[in-house]
Amino acid sequence: MIRRRQLLQAPLLLTGMSAMPLLASSKARVGIVGGGFGGATLARYLVRQAGVSVTLIDPVSAFITCPFSNLVLTGAKTLSEITFSRRGLIRDGVEFIPLGVTGIDAARRELTLSDGSKDRFDFLVCAPGVEMNYESVAGADSAIASHGSGHISQRMPHAWKAGDQTQLLAAQLGAMRPGGTFLITAPPNPFRCPPGPYERAGLVAEWMTHHNPAGKVLIVDQKDSFTKMPLFLEGWRKRYGDRVEWIGLSQTGELREVIDGGKADKSGKRGIRTDFDEFRADVVNLIPPQRAPSVLRDAGLDEGRGWCPVHPDSFESRVASNVFIIGDAASAAPMPKSAFSANNQAKLVAAVIAARVNGQSAPTAWLVNTCYSLVASDYGISVSGTYRARDDMLIQTGGGQSPTGADEQVHQLEATYTHGWYESITRDSFGGAA
Protein backbone atom coordinates (compact mmCIF):
# COMPACT_ATOMS: atom_id res chain seq x y z
CA MET A 1 0.00 0.00 0.00
CA ILE A 2 1.48 3.39 -1.03
CA ARG A 3 1.14 6.21 1.53
CA ARG A 4 1.93 9.95 1.41
CA ARG A 5 2.46 12.08 4.06
CA GLN A 6 -6.86 29.72 10.93
CA LEU A 7 -9.54 29.55 12.88
CA LEU A 8 -13.03 30.66 11.70
CA GLN A 9 -14.53 33.60 13.42
CA ALA A 10 -15.62 32.33 16.85
CA PRO A 11 -15.56 28.64 15.84
CA LEU A 12 -14.58 27.25 19.24
CA LEU A 13 -14.22 28.88 22.62
CA LEU A 14 -11.94 26.54 24.48
CA THR A 15 -10.46 27.22 27.89
CA GLY A 16 -6.68 27.40 27.66
CA MET A 17 -6.57 26.58 23.93
CA SER A 18 -3.93 29.19 23.12
CA ALA A 19 -1.64 27.93 25.88
CA MET A 20 -2.07 24.24 25.08
CA PRO A 21 1.38 22.57 24.95
CA LEU A 22 2.55 20.54 21.98
CA LEU A 23 1.94 16.83 21.92
CA ALA A 24 4.91 15.05 23.40
CA SER A 25 4.63 11.46 22.20
CA SER A 26 6.04 10.58 18.76
CA LYS A 27 4.28 7.20 19.03
CA ALA A 28 0.73 8.53 19.15
CA ARG A 29 -1.10 7.59 15.95
CA VAL A 30 -4.47 9.04 15.03
CA GLY A 31 -6.57 7.47 12.30
CA ILE A 32 -9.37 9.53 10.74
CA VAL A 33 -12.15 7.93 8.70
CA GLY A 34 -13.61 10.47 6.28
CA GLY A 35 -12.17 13.69 4.91
CA GLY A 36 -15.06 16.14 4.85
CA PHE A 37 -15.35 19.25 7.00
CA GLY A 38 -14.94 17.27 10.22
CA GLY A 39 -12.19 14.84 9.24
CA ALA A 40 -10.11 17.32 7.25
CA THR A 41 -10.29 19.98 9.97
CA LEU A 42 -9.25 17.48 12.62
CA ALA A 43 -6.32 16.28 10.50
CA ARG A 44 -5.03 19.82 9.96
CA TYR A 45 -5.34 20.84 13.61
CA LEU A 46 -3.81 17.63 14.97
CA VAL A 47 -0.83 17.52 12.63
CA ARG A 48 0.20 20.95 13.86
CA GLN A 49 0.86 19.38 17.26
CA ALA A 50 4.45 18.04 17.21
CA GLY A 51 4.94 14.29 17.49
CA VAL A 52 1.50 13.09 16.36
CA SER A 53 1.13 10.85 13.34
CA VAL A 54 -2.13 11.67 11.53
CA THR A 55 -3.59 9.38 8.86
CA LEU A 56 -6.67 10.43 6.90
CA ILE A 57 -8.50 7.65 5.06
CA ASP A 58 -11.03 8.48 2.36
CA PRO A 59 -11.69 6.81 -1.00
CA VAL A 60 -12.05 10.11 -2.87
CA SER A 61 -9.00 12.19 -3.75
CA ALA A 62 -10.99 15.44 -3.77
CA PHE A 63 -13.92 16.52 -1.60
CA ILE A 64 -16.97 18.21 -3.09
CA THR A 65 -18.80 20.35 -0.55
CA CYS A 66 -22.53 20.15 0.00
CA PRO A 67 -22.50 23.84 1.04
CA PHE A 68 -22.86 25.92 -2.14
CA SER A 69 -23.86 22.87 -4.20
CA ASN A 70 -27.31 24.44 -4.57
CA LEU A 71 -25.57 27.21 -6.52
CA VAL A 72 -24.19 24.55 -8.87
CA LEU A 73 -27.75 23.38 -9.55
CA THR A 74 -28.65 26.80 -10.87
CA GLY A 75 -25.41 27.45 -12.75
CA ALA A 76 -24.18 30.20 -10.43
CA LYS A 77 -21.13 28.07 -9.60
CA THR A 78 -19.36 25.16 -11.23
CA LEU A 79 -18.63 21.85 -9.56
CA SER A 80 -14.91 22.55 -9.76
CA GLU A 81 -15.40 25.71 -7.68
CA ILE A 82 -16.67 23.66 -4.73
CA THR A 83 -14.16 20.78 -5.09
CA PHE A 84 -11.11 20.65 -2.80
CA SER A 85 -8.10 18.40 -3.30
CA ARG A 86 -6.06 16.77 -0.53
CA ARG A 87 -2.94 18.70 -1.52
CA GLY A 88 -3.28 21.20 1.31
CA LEU A 89 -3.58 18.42 3.90
CA ILE A 90 -0.62 16.49 2.50
CA ARG A 91 1.40 19.70 2.39
CA ASP A 92 0.61 20.19 6.08
CA GLY A 93 2.03 16.73 6.84
CA VAL A 94 -1.10 14.57 6.90
CA GLU A 95 -0.74 11.03 5.58
CA PHE A 96 -3.56 10.45 3.10
CA ILE A 97 -4.72 6.96 2.14
CA PRO A 98 -7.15 6.99 -0.83
CA LEU A 99 -9.05 3.86 0.15
CA GLY A 100 -12.41 3.00 1.63
CA VAL A 101 -12.95 1.54 5.09
CA THR A 102 -14.85 -1.75 5.00
CA GLY A 103 -14.67 -2.72 8.66
CA ILE A 104 -14.08 -1.23 12.11
CA ASP A 105 -13.05 -3.12 15.23
CA ALA A 106 -13.84 -0.38 17.73
CA ALA A 107 -12.42 -2.17 20.77
CA ARG A 108 -9.03 -2.60 19.04
CA ARG A 109 -9.28 0.67 17.09
CA GLU A 110 -8.47 -1.36 14.01
CA LEU A 111 -9.62 -0.59 10.49
CA THR A 112 -10.01 -2.95 7.56
CA LEU A 113 -9.41 -1.09 4.31
CA SER A 114 -10.85 -1.75 0.88
CA ASP A 115 -7.59 -3.33 -0.32
CA GLY A 116 -7.83 -5.92 2.46
CA SER A 117 -5.12 -4.41 4.66
CA LYS A 118 -5.59 -3.63 8.35
CA ASP A 119 -4.27 -0.79 10.47
CA ARG A 120 -4.48 -0.01 14.20
CA PHE A 121 -4.34 3.37 15.89
CA ASP A 122 -3.96 4.84 19.36
CA PHE A 123 -6.93 7.09 18.64
CA LEU A 124 -9.62 6.58 16.03
CA VAL A 125 -11.93 9.34 14.79
CA CYS A 126 -14.91 8.56 12.55
CA ALA A 127 -16.26 11.36 10.36
CA PRO A 128 -17.78 9.53 7.36
CA GLY A 129 -20.87 11.68 6.86
CA VAL A 130 -24.30 10.17 6.17
CA GLU A 131 -25.96 7.32 4.32
CA MET A 132 -29.22 7.69 2.39
CA ASN A 133 -31.81 5.42 3.98
CA TYR A 134 -33.87 4.37 0.97
CA GLU A 135 -35.06 1.28 2.83
CA SER A 136 -37.43 3.49 4.82
CA VAL A 137 -39.40 4.63 1.74
CA ALA A 138 -41.69 2.17 -0.02
CA GLY A 139 -40.95 1.95 -3.73
CA ALA A 140 -37.53 3.55 -3.24
CA ASP A 141 -35.88 0.66 -1.43
CA SER A 142 -32.23 0.39 -2.39
CA ALA A 143 -32.87 -3.29 -3.18
CA ILE A 144 -34.64 -2.21 -6.40
CA ALA A 145 -31.19 -1.93 -7.92
CA SER A 146 -27.97 -1.51 -6.01
CA HIS A 147 -26.10 0.78 -8.38
CA GLY A 148 -26.12 2.49 -11.75
CA SER A 149 -28.97 3.67 -13.90
CA GLY A 150 -31.45 1.30 -12.29
CA HIS A 151 -31.30 2.92 -8.88
CA ILE A 152 -34.11 5.26 -7.91
CA SER A 153 -31.56 8.02 -7.20
CA GLN A 154 -30.79 8.14 -10.92
CA ARG A 155 -34.39 9.07 -11.72
CA MET A 156 -35.19 11.05 -8.57
CA PRO A 157 -31.84 12.45 -7.49
CA HIS A 158 -31.26 13.36 -3.87
CA ALA A 159 -28.23 15.59 -4.63
CA TRP A 160 -27.53 15.45 -0.89
CA LYS A 161 -23.99 14.27 -1.55
CA ALA A 162 -22.52 16.74 -3.97
CA GLY A 163 -21.04 15.54 -7.25
CA ASP A 164 -22.68 13.36 -9.89
CA GLN A 165 -26.05 13.71 -8.16
CA THR A 166 -25.77 17.50 -8.28
CA GLN A 167 -25.05 17.43 -12.01
CA LEU A 168 -27.90 15.00 -12.65
CA LEU A 169 -30.46 17.14 -10.82
CA ALA A 170 -29.16 20.26 -12.58
CA ALA A 171 -29.66 18.55 -15.95
CA GLN A 172 -33.21 17.54 -15.02
CA LEU A 173 -33.99 21.10 -13.93
CA GLY A 174 -32.63 22.49 -17.19
CA ALA A 175 -34.70 20.03 -19.26
CA MET A 176 -37.96 20.65 -17.38
CA ARG A 177 -40.88 21.68 -19.58
CA PRO A 178 -42.18 25.26 -19.45
CA GLY A 179 -44.58 25.64 -16.53
CA GLY A 180 -43.37 22.40 -14.94
CA THR A 181 -43.17 21.49 -11.25
CA PHE A 182 -39.99 20.83 -9.30
CA LEU A 183 -40.90 18.68 -6.27
CA ILE A 184 -38.65 18.50 -3.20
CA THR A 185 -39.29 15.95 -0.47
CA ALA A 186 -37.84 17.19 2.82
CA PRO A 187 -36.96 14.34 5.21
CA PRO A 188 -37.73 14.04 8.92
CA ASN A 189 -35.18 15.18 11.50
CA PRO A 190 -32.34 14.60 11.99
CA PHE A 191 -30.64 14.91 8.62
CA ARG A 192 -27.66 16.62 7.03
CA CYS A 193 -27.98 20.39 6.58
CA PRO A 194 -31.47 21.12 7.97
CA PRO A 195 -31.97 24.36 5.98
CA GLY A 196 -30.70 22.83 2.72
CA PRO A 197 -34.03 21.80 1.13
CA TYR A 198 -35.48 25.27 1.71
CA GLU A 199 -32.44 27.07 0.36
CA ARG A 200 -32.67 24.82 -2.69
CA ALA A 201 -36.33 25.74 -3.16
CA GLY A 202 -35.51 29.45 -3.19
CA LEU A 203 -32.56 29.19 -5.55
CA VAL A 204 -34.49 26.95 -7.97
CA ALA A 205 -37.36 29.46 -7.88
CA GLU A 206 -34.87 32.24 -8.66
CA TRP A 207 -33.57 30.22 -11.62
CA MET A 208 -37.15 29.74 -12.83
CA THR A 209 -37.71 33.50 -12.74
CA HIS A 210 -35.22 33.81 -15.60
CA HIS A 211 -35.55 30.47 -17.41
CA ASN A 212 -39.01 29.03 -16.69
CA PRO A 213 -41.22 31.85 -15.36
CA ALA A 214 -44.37 29.70 -15.24
CA GLY A 215 -42.61 26.95 -13.28
CA LYS A 216 -43.32 26.09 -9.65
CA VAL A 217 -41.45 24.64 -6.68
CA LEU A 218 -43.37 22.34 -4.34
CA ILE A 219 -41.95 21.15 -1.01
CA VAL A 220 -43.62 18.15 0.63
CA ASP A 221 -42.23 18.04 4.14
CA GLN A 222 -42.10 15.27 6.74
CA LYS A 223 -42.14 17.94 9.47
CA ASP A 224 -44.51 20.69 10.55
CA SER A 225 -41.74 23.21 11.03
CA PHE A 226 -38.16 23.71 9.92
CA THR A 227 -35.14 25.80 10.76
CA LYS A 228 -35.46 29.52 9.91
CA MET A 229 -39.03 28.84 8.79
CA PRO A 230 -40.40 32.40 9.25
CA LEU A 231 -37.39 33.81 7.40
CA PHE A 232 -37.71 31.41 4.47
CA LEU A 233 -41.47 31.93 4.19
CA GLU A 234 -40.99 35.70 4.24
CA GLY A 235 -38.23 35.56 1.64
CA TRP A 236 -40.15 33.27 -0.69
CA ARG A 237 -43.21 35.49 -0.49
CA LYS A 238 -41.22 38.66 -1.17
CA ARG A 239 -39.20 37.27 -4.06
CA TYR A 240 -41.38 34.59 -5.66
CA GLY A 241 -44.99 35.14 -4.64
CA ASP A 242 -46.82 31.81 -4.84
CA ARG A 243 -44.17 30.11 -6.98
CA VAL A 244 -42.86 28.25 -3.90
CA GLU A 245 -45.41 26.15 -2.01
CA TRP A 246 -44.66 24.34 1.24
CA ILE A 247 -46.88 21.51 2.57
CA GLY A 248 -46.20 20.20 6.07
CA LEU A 249 -46.67 16.82 7.71
CA SER A 250 -50.01 17.56 9.38
CA GLN A 251 -51.46 18.69 6.04
CA THR A 252 -50.56 15.65 3.97
CA GLY A 253 -49.30 12.92 6.31
CA GLU A 254 -46.23 10.74 6.03
CA LEU A 255 -44.49 9.83 2.80
CA ARG A 256 -45.71 6.32 1.98
CA GLU A 257 -44.66 5.48 -1.55
CA VAL A 258 -42.64 6.63 -4.53
CA ILE A 259 -44.35 6.71 -7.93
CA ASP A 260 -41.68 6.02 -10.52
CA GLY A 261 -43.62 6.74 -13.72
CA GLY A 262 -43.05 4.56 -16.76
CA LYS A 263 -45.53 2.33 -18.57
CA ALA A 264 -47.93 2.13 -15.64
CA ASP A 265 -48.26 5.90 -15.62
CA LYS A 266 -49.50 7.39 -18.90
CA SER A 267 -48.38 10.88 -17.90
CA GLY A 268 -44.81 9.66 -17.51
CA LYS A 269 -44.49 11.89 -14.47
CA ARG A 270 -42.94 10.68 -11.28
CA GLY A 271 -44.12 11.55 -7.83
CA ILE A 272 -44.99 10.44 -4.32
CA ARG A 273 -47.96 9.28 -2.28
CA THR A 274 -48.52 10.39 1.27
CA ASP A 275 -51.19 9.39 3.76
CA PHE A 276 -53.71 11.80 2.23
CA ASP A 277 -52.42 12.94 -1.16
CA GLU A 278 -50.64 12.10 -4.36
CA PHE A 279 -48.18 14.54 -5.93
CA ARG A 280 -46.84 14.38 -9.50
CA ALA A 281 -44.02 16.51 -10.85
CA ASP A 282 -41.72 16.95 -13.83
CA VAL A 283 -38.65 16.72 -11.59
CA VAL A 284 -38.61 14.94 -8.23
CA ASN A 285 -35.79 15.77 -5.83
CA LEU A 286 -36.29 12.84 -3.44
CA ILE A 287 -34.24 13.51 -0.29
CA PRO A 288 -34.65 10.34 1.77
CA PRO A 289 -34.25 9.92 5.53
CA GLN A 290 -30.63 9.49 6.57
CA ARG A 291 -28.49 7.60 9.06
CA ALA A 292 -24.87 6.90 9.97
CA PRO A 293 -23.02 4.90 7.29
CA SER A 294 -23.20 1.12 7.50
CA VAL A 295 -19.51 0.72 8.40
CA LEU A 296 -20.25 2.46 11.72
CA ARG A 297 -23.55 0.68 12.29
CA ASP A 298 -22.00 -2.72 11.54
CA ALA A 299 -19.37 -1.97 14.18
CA GLY A 300 -22.13 -1.32 16.73
CA LEU A 301 -21.14 2.30 17.19
CA ASP A 302 -24.76 3.42 16.75
CA GLU A 303 -26.10 1.04 19.44
CA GLY A 304 -28.85 0.15 16.96
CA ARG A 305 -30.18 3.73 16.85
CA GLY A 306 -29.08 4.78 13.37
CA TRP A 307 -26.88 7.61 14.68
CA CYS A 308 -23.83 7.19 16.91
CA PRO A 309 -24.13 8.39 20.53
CA VAL A 310 -21.20 10.34 21.97
CA HIS A 311 -20.18 11.96 25.23
CA PRO A 312 -20.83 15.66 24.57
CA ASP A 313 -17.80 16.95 26.48
CA SER A 314 -15.38 15.06 24.20
CA PHE A 315 -17.37 13.47 21.33
CA GLU A 316 -15.90 10.16 22.41
CA SER A 317 -18.09 7.21 21.50
CA ARG A 318 -20.31 5.82 24.25
CA VAL A 319 -19.40 2.38 22.92
CA ALA A 320 -15.58 2.38 22.79
CA SER A 321 -12.84 4.37 24.49
CA ASN A 322 -10.45 6.53 22.44
CA VAL A 323 -12.87 6.28 19.52
CA PHE A 324 -14.47 9.60 18.57
CA ILE A 325 -17.33 10.38 16.20
CA ILE A 326 -17.83 13.85 14.74
CA GLY A 327 -19.94 15.49 12.10
CA ASP A 328 -23.11 14.15 10.56
CA ALA A 329 -22.79 10.57 11.86
CA ALA A 330 -22.78 11.65 15.52
CA SER A 331 -25.91 11.90 17.62
CA ALA A 332 -25.26 15.38 19.00
CA ALA A 333 -28.65 17.11 19.26
CA PRO A 334 -29.45 19.94 19.69
CA MET A 335 -26.38 20.75 17.59
CA PRO A 336 -27.41 20.46 13.91
CA LYS A 337 -25.68 18.32 11.32
CA SER A 338 -23.84 21.08 9.51
CA ALA A 339 -20.41 21.84 8.07
CA PHE A 340 -19.79 24.40 10.81
CA SER A 341 -20.75 21.88 13.51
CA ALA A 342 -18.38 19.27 12.08
CA ASN A 343 -15.55 21.80 11.82
CA ASN A 344 -16.19 22.95 15.38
CA GLN A 345 -16.43 19.45 16.84
CA ALA A 346 -13.15 18.54 15.14
CA LYS A 347 -11.32 21.29 17.01
CA LEU A 348 -12.71 20.05 20.31
CA VAL A 349 -11.57 16.49 19.58
CA ALA A 350 -8.11 17.75 18.56
CA ALA A 351 -7.79 19.42 21.96
CA VAL A 352 -9.12 16.34 23.80
CA ILE A 353 -6.64 14.01 22.08
CA ALA A 354 -3.79 16.46 22.74
CA ALA A 355 -4.69 16.55 26.43
CA ARG A 356 -4.80 12.76 26.68
CA VAL A 357 -1.46 12.31 24.97
CA ASN A 358 0.08 14.80 27.37
CA GLY A 359 -1.63 13.35 30.44
CA GLN A 360 -3.50 16.59 31.03
CA SER A 361 -7.05 17.16 32.22
CA ALA A 362 -9.74 17.41 29.59
CA PRO A 363 -10.41 20.89 28.16
CA THR A 364 -13.63 22.75 28.83
CA ALA A 365 -15.42 23.44 25.58
CA TRP A 366 -18.09 25.74 24.30
CA LEU A 367 -19.36 24.64 20.91
CA VAL A 368 -20.77 27.00 18.30
CA ASN A 369 -22.75 26.65 15.09
CA THR A 370 -23.57 29.30 12.53
CA CYS A 371 -25.60 28.48 9.45
CA TYR A 372 -26.06 30.80 6.49
CA SER A 373 -28.65 30.19 3.76
CA LEU A 374 -29.50 31.90 0.49
CA VAL A 375 -33.15 32.56 -0.30
CA ALA A 376 -31.86 34.12 -3.52
CA SER A 377 -28.36 34.80 -4.79
CA ASP A 378 -28.49 38.27 -3.20
CA TYR A 379 -30.75 37.47 -0.23
CA GLY A 380 -29.17 35.76 2.79
CA ILE A 381 -30.43 34.66 6.20
CA SER A 382 -28.64 33.05 9.13
CA VAL A 383 -29.04 31.30 12.46
CA SER A 384 -26.51 30.63 15.21
CA GLY A 385 -26.31 28.69 18.46
CA THR A 386 -23.91 28.06 21.35
CA TYR A 387 -23.73 24.74 23.19
CA ARG A 388 -22.00 23.13 26.14
CA ALA A 389 -21.97 19.81 27.96
CA ARG A 390 -23.81 19.49 31.24
CA ASP A 391 -24.61 16.27 33.14
CA ASP A 392 -23.43 14.23 30.12
CA MET A 393 -25.89 16.05 27.87
CA LEU A 394 -25.38 18.69 25.23
CA ILE A 395 -27.51 21.77 25.89
CA GLN A 396 -28.03 24.95 23.93
CA THR A 397 -27.01 28.01 25.90
CA GLY A 398 -27.81 30.77 23.41
CA GLY A 399 -28.26 31.75 19.82
CA GLY A 400 -30.03 34.02 17.40
CA GLN A 401 -31.13 34.47 13.85
CA SER A 402 -31.71 37.14 11.22
CA PRO A 403 -34.62 39.44 12.00
CA THR A 404 -37.91 39.10 10.18
CA GLY A 405 -39.15 42.25 8.51
CA ALA A 406 -35.63 43.44 7.71
CA ASP A 407 -35.06 45.57 4.61
CA GLU A 408 -33.32 44.30 1.50
CA GLN A 409 -29.96 45.81 2.43
CA VAL A 410 -29.76 43.58 5.51
CA HIS A 411 -30.35 40.47 3.43
CA GLN A 412 -27.87 41.60 0.78
CA LEU A 413 -25.24 41.90 3.51
CA GLU A 414 -26.16 38.44 4.78
CA ALA A 415 -25.63 37.08 1.27
CA THR A 416 -22.17 38.66 1.24
CA TYR A 417 -21.45 37.13 4.65
CA THR A 418 -22.56 33.75 3.30
CA HIS A 419 -19.85 33.83 0.64
CA GLY A 420 -17.29 35.02 3.18
CA TRP A 421 -18.22 32.19 5.53
CA TYR A 422 -17.76 29.61 2.77
CA GLU A 423 -14.36 30.95 1.81
CA SER A 424 -13.24 30.95 5.45
CA ILE A 425 -14.44 27.49 6.42
CA THR A 426 -13.10 25.79 3.29
CA ARG A 427 -9.70 27.40 3.82
CA ASP A 428 -9.76 26.38 7.48
CA SER A 429 -10.82 22.80 6.74
CA PHE A 430 -8.91 21.99 3.54
CA GLY A 431 -6.00 24.41 3.63
CA GLY A 432 -6.40 26.15 0.32
CA ALA A 433 -8.55 27.16 -2.62
CA ALA A 434 -10.60 24.67 -4.58
Q: What is the pLDDT of residues 194-240, one digit of tens each?
A: 999 999 999 999 999 999 999 999 999 999 999 999 999 999 999 99
Contact 430, 89 (CB under 8 A): yes
Q: What confidence score (pLDDT) does residue 266 get?
A: 55
**Mean pLDDT highest for which of 22-26, 82-86, 88-92, 135-139?**
82-86
Q: Kindly tell me if the per-residue pLDDT of 135 is higher than 60.
A: yes
| pLDDT at res. 22 | 41
Q: How much is the pLDDT for 249? A: 98
Q: In what order do the strands lie in the sheet with 95-97?
A: 95-97, 53-57, 29-33, 123-126, 323-325, 316-317, 308-311, 330-331
Q: Using CA atoms, how far apart are residues 328 and 139, in angstroms rounded to an integer?
A: 26
147: Cβ contacts below 8 Å, ≥ 6 apart = none
Mean pLDDT of the 305-328 span: 97
| 251-277 core/surface letters (b: 16 or more CB in 10 A; e: else) | ebeebeebbbbeeeeeeebbbbbbeee
The confidence score (pLDDT) of residue 284 equals: 96
Going by their DSSP bridges, the two strands 110-113 and 118-120 should be labelled as: antiparallel
The span from the CA of 359 to the CA of 28, in Å, is 13
Identify the pLDDT of residue 176. 96
Residue 17: the pLDDT is: 38
Cα(85)–Cα(61) distance, integer angstroms: 6
Q: What is the C-alpha separation between 260 and 154, in angstroms, rounded?
A: 11
pLDDT at 375 over 90: yes
Task: Please say whether the beta carbons of 95 and 5 come within 8 A.
Answer: yes
101: pLDDT confidence band, cut at 50, 70 and 90?
A: very high
Residue 146 is predicted with a pLDDT of 39
Per-residue DSSP letter, 76:
S
State the pTM of this model: 0.91
Cβ atoms 317, 308 nearer than 8 A: yes
Q: What is the mean pLDDT of the segment spanning 140-147? A: 46
Q: Is the pLDDT of residue 1 over 70?
A: no
Q: Give 141's pLDDT tier (boundaries 50, 70, 90).
A: low
Average pLDDT value over all residues in the chain: 90
227 contact partners, CB below 8 Å, separation of at least 6:
194, 195, 198, 336, 371, 383
Strand ranges of the sheet holding 365-376, from the earlier edge strand across to the other edge:
12-14, 365-376, 379-390, 393-401
Query: Is it the case that residue 10 has pLDDT exceeding 90?
Result: no
CB 350 within 8 A of CB 61: no
pLDDT tens per residue across span 254-309 = 999 998 865 445 566 789 999 999 999 999 999 999 999 999 999 999 999 999 99
The fraction of the chain above a pLDDT of 90, given in percent, is: 82
Domains and CATH numbers, the chain: 12-129+292-430 (3.50.50.60), 138-290 (3.50.50.60)
Predicted confidence (pLDDT) per residue in 396-407, tens digit:
999 999 999 999
Name the nearest CA neighbour of 289 among 301, 307, 275, 302.
307
Any alpha helices (H) in 12-137, and if so which ranges? 37-47, 69-73, 87-92
How many Å apart are CA 34 and CA 9, to the nearest integer? 24
CA–CA separation, 310 and 164 (whole Å): 32
